[in-house]
């Protein structure tokens, strides 16, 4: 998915059953990751809900050739360095939480 929200450009969201493996895969494909957050959601259903929430906010979701498995209940969000910050300027960990959750 490509973000139509310029403040979410460069942010990605997904689910996994192995945080370390998935982060390494993304680093190998995309390069340096500057922000990474992974949270145990305890169920695939909850992880899918969180992923859908961030997707609606405008993050990109990268497809996996193997797809999610039943034990994929870790949700992760990450950002890559960019020279294009969009209309709203650079977004930080603090501002993404505020934007996403209104806090």
Using pLDDT thresholds of 50, 70 and 90, give the confidence band for residue 4.
Answer: low
Q: Does 87 have pLDDT greater than 60?
A: no
Q: What is the pLDDT of residues 25-47, one digit of tens each?
A: 888 777 788 788 999 999 999 99
pLDDT at 56: 84
User: Stretch 49-75: mean pLDDT, rounded?
Assistant: 79
Distance (Å, whole) CA 79 – CA 89: 14
Distance separating alpha carbons of residues 15 and 51, to the nearest angstrom: 7
R_g of the chain, CA atoms, integer Å: 13
d(CA 50, CA 53): 5
């Amino acid at each position: 998915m490509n973000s139509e929200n310029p403040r979410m450009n460069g942010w990605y969201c997904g689910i996994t059953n192995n945080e370390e493996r998935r982060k390494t895969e993304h680093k190998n494909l995309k390069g340096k990751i500057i922000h990474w957050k992974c949270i145990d959601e305890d169920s695939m259903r909850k992880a899918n809900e969180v992923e859908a929430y961030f997707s609606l906010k405008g993050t990109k979701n990268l497809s996996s050739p193997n797809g999610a498995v039943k034990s994929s209940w870790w949700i992760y969000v990450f950002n890559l360095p960019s020279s294009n910050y969009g209309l709203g300027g650079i977004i930080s960990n603090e501002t993404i939480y505020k934007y996403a959750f209104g806090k």
